[in-house]
With several copies, the nearest count.
Chain A
Amino acid sequence: MGLYRVVAVVSLKKGLKDPEAETIQKDLVLRHGYSAVKEVRVGKQLTFLVEAESPEEAISYVKEMCDKLMIYNPVIHELYVTLHA
């Protein structure tokens, strides 16, 4: 058994208006002149410390949990699960 840090990122599907990202982008580009920024996206990152036999198992454990517990809402969200670097 080992401990693995698994990261789940929940972000809005493309096409859905994301006020937070828009505000940041507006502020960045308009007010501060950071015009090299072409796009901003905001997501929520959940990091789970999981006890598992293997990294693969840890990941699939978290994936299953995210589905079952609806950590994300598939109607509006994308979920992306990886092992912590």
Chain B
Amino acid sequence: MPKIAILKFPGTNCDEDVLRSLKEVDSGVKAEIVWHKDFRVGGGWDAVIVPGGFSYGDWLRAGAIAARSRAMRELAEATTRGVPVLGICNGFQILVEAGLLKGAFLPNESGRFICRWVRLRIDNPKGPWLSLTRSGDELHMPVAHGEGRYYIEERDYESVVSSSPILRYLPSDNPNGSSYNIAGIGTEDGYVLGLMPHPERAVNSLLAPRGFKPGGEVIFKSVLHSLKPGW
């Protein structure tokens, strides 16, 4: 069984949710919440998830302080060794702030925090986190963020649009005014992926409101599938 680290900073608050949901997807999973002070590249982690929350209170800017932390330097090192990394919500913001993914974040266009379910569509699924999905698949899951307006400059967008995995809100569902309706984006090989919506809140149909299906399950299944020896 692969070993997954769930990296926790002061203010991270979705760590236990990710753990619970991973176990719901596969009860045998080996996953562990790792306090940022204890996180090491050499910890033998097969994948790392940076969960949501408000690291360091999100003071200054969402994810900005955590992005400069020692743990994130270790994580950056891990990505060069091909360890898959998933950033969810604040985790995505941290990865972007740390320069592991392109773009930047701005406050929601409404000026308010927003918590609601949205529909996403996948472009260029690639890499371990999306291995069981196909281009054009629709996934449903909730967002909950105040600074979730993903922004990417046009030339950067041009350079990733046809090569990198991108998750987009259906245009009618964009909750924050992000560029090109982007909800999530990955590196070209898809090993590092970040997304604003919360897949861990969408692994069980019990938690999906009427009209929505739990679309987070496939992301966790994908990584567990991809990490199986021989993949």
Q: A residues within 8 Å of B by Cβ?
A: 12, 16-17, 19-20, 22-24, 27-28, 31-32, 44, 69-71, 73, 75-76
Question: Which B-chain residue is minimally distant from A69 (CB atoms)?
Answer: B68
Contact (A28, B65) CB under 8 Å given A23-B56, A73-B97: yes
Contact (A17, B57) CB under 8 Å given A28-B68, A75-B104: no
Q: Which A residues touch B151, using CB under 8 A?
A: 16, 75-76
Flag whether B103 is at the interface (Cβ < 8 A). Answer: yes
Contact (A20, B68) CB under 8 Å given A28-B60, A75-B153: no
Contacts A/B (CB < 8 Å), 11 sampled: A19-B107, A19-B108, A20-B57, A20-B59, A23-B60, A27-B56, A28-B60, A32-B68, A69-B68, A71-B60, A75-B103
Alpha-carbon gap, A66 to B27, bound state (A): 46
Alpha-carbon gap, A69 to B103, bound state (A): 17
Contact (A73, B107) CB under 8 Å given A16-B151, A24-B65: no
Per the CB 8 Å criterion, the residue count for chain B at the interface is 23
Contact B104 A23 (CB under 8 A): no
16 additional contacts (CB under 8 A) given A17-B177, A28-B64, A75-B151:
A16-B106, A19-B57, A19-B108, A20-B57, A20-B59, A20-B107, A23-B56, A23-B60, A28-B65, A31-B69, A44-B60, A70-B67, A75-B104, A75-B153, A76-B104, A76-B106
Flag whether B61 is at the interface (Cβ < 8 A). Answer: yes
Alpha-carbon gap, A27 to B153, bound state (A): 30
Contact A70 B97 (CB under 8 A): yes
- The secondary structure that dominates the B interface is loop
Flag whether B109 is at the interface (Cβ < 8 A). Answer: yes
Contact A70 B108 (CB under 8 A): no
Within 8 A of A (CB), among B42-93: 56-57, 59-61, 64-65, 67-69
Within 8 A of A (CB), among B82-141: 97, 103-104, 106-111
Q: Which B residues touch A23, using CB under 8 A?
A: 56-57, 59-60, 65, 111
- A29: min CB distance to chain B, Å: 10
Q: Which of A23, A24, A69 has the most CB of B within 10 A?
A: A23
Question: Which B-chain residue is minimally distant from A20 (CB atoms)?
Answer: B59
- B93: min CB distance to chain A, Å: 11
